[in-house]
């Protein structure tokens, strides 16, 4: 069964089709959530919340070919909500103590998050 057929079935309420779609996406979702929160348990919670929200709103997916993008957008919103709720911010005093290579890693992460947010904005305009 093709992915498009599974998406159509999932939108009609087929739980098995939805589960198969999630199986294909779960590793990507976890890696992205972990990138945001840097904690295994928190990342797993975010993925679980994402799957739940996708499941209850599957019928709202407008364009089947954007299922993966739609799911990723739900995850990003959940991760950002989680960060806001838990105020996961690194104080500037701690940033000053980082070694040069660590600072570059943080800057790379910030650039990646900015790129993701830019994509998110572009998707909303679709």
Q: pLDDT by residue (tens digit) across 75-125?
A: 999 999 999 998 755 555 554 554 444 444 444 555 666 666 666 666 665
Looking at residues 10-18, what average pLDDT do you find?
95
Whole-structure pTM value: 0.67
Find tokens 């996708």 and name the residue. 54
12's tokens: 């009609």
Give residue 34's pLDDT: 95
Does the domain at 1-89 match CATH 3.90.1150.10? Answer given as no
Alpha-carbon 9 to chain mean position: 23
């Amino acid at each position: 069964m093709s992915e498009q057929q599974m998406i159509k079935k999932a939108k009609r309420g087929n739980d098995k089709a939805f589960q198969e779609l999630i199986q294909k996406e779960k590793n990507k979702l976890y890696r992205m959530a972990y990138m945001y929160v840097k904690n295994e348990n928190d990342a797993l919670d975010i993925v679980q919340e994402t799957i739940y929200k996708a499941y209850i709103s599957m019928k709202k997916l407008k364009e089947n070919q954007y299922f993966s993008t739609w799911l990723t957008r739900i995850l990003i919103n959940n991760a950002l909500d989680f960060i806001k709720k838990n105020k996961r911010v690194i104080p500037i005093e701690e940033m000053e103590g980082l070694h040069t290579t660590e600072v570059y890693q943080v800057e790379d992460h910030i650039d990646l998050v900015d790129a993701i947010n830019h994509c998110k904005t572009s998707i909303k305009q679709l």
